[in-house]
């Protein structure tokens, strides 16, 4: 159910987002974003710079995490601000399933003017891949 400002409470959970990140998604994101950094699609070069394998674009992970907020608010135009720290790389093996990004969140505070602050957690397995994940969204 789409939240409304008069009903939402600090601590309310946001619906969890589960986002498979496979090599195909990285190629699509590279094209769409213009970030053709080779570590996001080429294993040989990723390993040569010390990575265990190809890693996802940090910004792709951020975009997916923010979908949890905009899906919950029911409106991508409602997200006023967001920020993340990139804490761990998302390793994307060359297989059919890739890495599974799991994003959870909750309302942190009501900010007035129909705006709420939310905090999120973004993990792949045990790794917290994004930290200090926050957003401000305007609700109906």
In the complex, the residues that contact another protein under the rule CB under 8 A are: 19, 25, 28-29, 31-36, 49, 58-60, 62-64, 66-67, 70, 75-77, 79-86, 132
Q: Among 45, 100, 107, 96, which Cα is nearest to 72's?
A: 107
Give least dist CB 66 to another protein, A.
6
Of the pair 64, 107, the CB lying nearest another protein is at 64
* Cβ nearer to another protein, comparing 9 with 136: 136
Q: How far is CA 119 from CA 11, 13, 25, 35, 44, in A?
A: 10, 10, 25, 27, 36
In angstroms, give the least distance from the CB of 49 to another protein. Answer: 6
- Cα(106)–Cα(15) distance, rounded to whole angstroms? 9
Contact 94, 130 (CB under 8 A): no
Q: How far is the CB of 51 from another protein (least distance, A)?
A: 10
């Amino acid at each position: 159910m789409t939240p409304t400002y008069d009903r939402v409470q600090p601590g309310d959970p946001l619906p969890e987002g589960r986002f498979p990140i496979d090599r195909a998604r990285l190629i699509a994101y590279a094209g769409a974003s213009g970030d053709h950094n080779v570590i996001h699609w080429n294993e040989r070069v990723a390993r040569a710079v010390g990575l265990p394998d190809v890693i996802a674009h940090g910004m792709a992970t951020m975009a997916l995490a923010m979908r949890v907020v905009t899906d919950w608010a029911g409106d991508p135009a409602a997200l006023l601000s967001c920020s993340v720290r990139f804490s761990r790389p998302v390793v994307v093996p060359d297989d059919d399933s890739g890495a599974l990004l799991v994003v959870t969140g909750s309302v942190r505070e009501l900010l007035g003017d129909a705006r709420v602050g939310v905090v999120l957690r973004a993990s792949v397995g045990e790794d917290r891949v994004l930290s200090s994940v926050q957003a401000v969204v305007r609700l109906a």
